[in-house]
Amino acid sequence: MIIQGLAFYMFAAITVAAGVMVISARNPVHSVLFLILAFFNSAGLFVLMGAEFLAMILVVVYVGAVAVLFMFVVMMLDISLAEMRAGFLQYLPLGAMIGFVLVMELGIIGGSWVIADNVDKNFVAPIVAMKTTNTEALGNMLYTHYVYYFQAAGMILLVAMIGAIVLTHRKRPDARKQNIGDQVSRHPSDTLEIKKVSSGSGV
């Protein structure tokens, strides 16, 4: 238990610290790298909770795909954070005050947290002694109890896809495309003219 506890605090502390660094690093590339660090540590937290599938997904999808994509974008856009921070100090006092108040309040709330009686009977899928693997359990939930959410998420992704295409795809009339149908149905006589060239007269 002690090792588990130590591991939890390590992962948690690094996650929070990395999160702070994401927003405070001067170089945007560093920010993304810290983000990746935060993802890794979150994955560690998932492992501690016994959710190894989610941990792997987090690493594969977020670190492997999303964060790397971020990296590309950041590098290509050439953002100057110094410029974006120009007004930072101007709003710092008020922002810090509000932030401080909110944090204090959340502290108070956390301190006086109460959980409803018999809360465990409210769970949709309580954690029972695991006989199945994580993946199988998730699959079972996702395609049965949560089929509605699953489909809804699918619709959201569809919209995201349409949106991305609508907002960025441009028709380029000058772009050349292959049209196999045209190619196949082309007849030599359309384009080819055979002329008899009498010798010596040139074309």
Partner 1 sequence: MYIAAVFLPLIGSLIAGMIAFVAQGAVRAEDTERKKRLDLASQLITCGAMLLASVAAILVFIAVVVNGQNGTVELFTWVDSGSLEFSWELRGDTLAVLMVTMVTVVSSMIHIYSIGYMSHDGSIPRFMGYMGLFSFFMLMLVSANNLVQLFFGWEGVGLCSYLLIGFWYDRPSANAAAIKAFVVNRIGDFGFALGIFACFFLFDSVSYDTIFSEAAAKSTATMNVFSGEFHALTIICLLLFLGAMGKSAQLGLHVWLPDAMEGPTPVSALIHAATMVTAGVFMVARMSPLFEYSDVALTVVTLIGASTAIFAATVGCVQNDIKRVIAYSTVSQLGYMFFALGVSAYSAGMFHLITHAFFKALLFLGAGSVIHAMSDEQDMRKMGGLYKLIPATYVLMWIGSLALAGIWPFSGFFSKDIILEAAWGAHTGIGQYAFWLGITAAFLTAFYSWRLIIMTFHGESRADEKTLAHVHESPKVMILPLVVLALGALFVGILSVDYFVGEHTVEFWKNSIFVLDTHKALENAHHVPIWVKFLPLVVGIGGIALAYLMYMFAPELPKALASGFQRTYQFLLNKWYFDELYDKIFVKPAFYLGRGFWKAGDGLLIDGVGPDGVAAAVQHLARRAAAMQSGYLYHYAFAMLLGVAFLVTWFLVAGA
Partner 2 sequence: MPLATLPTLTPALPEIFLAIASMLLLMLGVFSSEENNTRTVSYASVLVLIVAIPFVGLVTEGRTVTFGGAFVTDTFAVYIKALVLVSAATAIIMSKDYLKIQGIERFEFPVLIVLATLGMMMMISANDLIALYLGLELQSLSLYVIASFQRDSARSAEAGLKYFVLGALASGLLLYGMSMIYGFAGTTSFDTLANIFHDAHGHVSVGVIVGIVFMLAGLAFKVSAVPFHMWTPDVYEGAPTPVTALFAVAPKIAAMGLFIRVMVGPFGELGAQWQQIIIFISVASMLLGAFAAINQTNIKRLMAYSSIGHMGYALIGLAVAGTAGDAALQALGVQSMLIYLGIYMFMNIGTFACILLMKRDGRMVEGIDDLAGLSKSNPGLAMILSIFMFSMAGIPPLAGFLGKLYVFQAAIQAELYALAVIGVLASVVGAYYYIRIIKVMYFDDPVDELDRGISLEMKAILVVTGVVIVFFVFYPVPLLTGAESATAALFHK
The answer to whether the beta carbons of residues 36 and 21 sit under 8 Å apart is: no
Output 98 or 157, the one with its CB closest to partner 1: 98
Exposed/middle/buried for residue 56 (C-beta within 10 Å: 0-12, 13-18, 19+): middle
Work out whether 194 is an interface residue with partner 2 (CB under 8 A). no
CA distances from 72 to 32, 33, 77, 101 (A): 10, 12, 9, 37
Which of 9, 88, 100, 149 contacts partner 2 by CB under 8 A?
149
Work out whether 116 is an interface residue with partner 2 (CB under 8 A). yes
Output 72 or 149, the one with its CB closest to partner 2: 149
* Of 10-18, 30-38, 93-101, 120-128: span binding partner 1 (CB under 8 A): 93-101
Q: How far is the CB of 101 from partner 1 (least distance, A)?
A: 6
Residue 95 site contact among partner 1, partner 2, none (CB < 5 to 8 Å, cut-off depends on kind) = partner 1
Output 126 or 188, the one with its CB closest to partner 2: 126
Work out whether 23 is an interface residue with partner 2 (CB under 8 A). no
The answer to whether the beta carbons of residues 74 and 28 sit under 8 Å apart is: yes
DSSP string covering 144-201, please? TTTHHHHHHHHHHHHHHHHHHHHHH----TTS----HHHHHH--HHHH-------TTS
Work out whether 152 is an interface residue with partner 2 (CB under 8 A). yes
CA distances from 144 to 121, 140, 147, 149, 155 (A): 20, 6, 5, 10, 17
Work out whether 91 is an interface residue with partner 2 (CB under 8 A). no
Output 105 or 136, the one with its CB closest to partner 1: 105
* Footprint on this chain of partner 1 (rule: CB under 8 A): 91, 95, 98, 101-102, 105, 108-109
